[in-house]
Amino acid sequence: MVETLPLDRIKKENNNIYELVVALAKRARQINEERRARLHMEINTSDEYEDLEEALHIHPIESQVYERKIKPTRQAVEEFLQRKLEIRYPKTDM
């Protein structure tokens, strides 16, 4: 089911929407990489396959399990709205 994002709630939490989009995109990439690493570990516990694509070809994963998972972008937005995501800047010494 497709839902619209609560932009009014998002704007309350962060005034700079561009900064927020970048932060959410970075978090979504992290989530995606974590999932990919977990999937890789599930499929390939030993080093008998050269890459993930080869392992998936030999051991097909039930796509329904992964299709039901929340999308990484949506998960990042929900983490932000639940105040689990914090935007930090690197410290620079001048």
Please choose, from the candidates 74, 50, 84, 76, the residue with its C-alpha nearest in 3D space to the C-alpha of residue 1: 74
Q: Is residue 60 part of a domain?
A: yes
Q: How far apart are CA 22 and CA 20, in angstroms?
A: 5
Q: Is residue 9 part of a domain?
A: no
The reported pLDDT for the residue numbered 75 is: 92
Whether residue 72 is predicted with pLDDT greater than 60 in this model: the reply is: yes
Over range 16-20, report the average pLDDT. Answer: 87
pTM: 0.67
Chain mean pLDDT for the chain = 77
The reported pLDDT for the residue numbered 61 is: 55
Q: Is residue 90 part of a domain?
A: no
pLDDT tens digits along 28-61: 999 999 988 887 777 666 555 556 566 556 555 5
Residue 13's CB is within 10 A of a number of other CB atoms, namely: 12
Structural domain boundaries, residue 63: 14-81
Q: Is residue 2 part of a domain?
A: no
Q: Is residue 55 part of a domain?
A: yes
Q: Is residue 6 part of a domain?
A: no
Structural domains in the chain (count): 1
Under a CB-based contact definition with an 8 Å cutoff, are residues 76 and 85 in contact?
yes
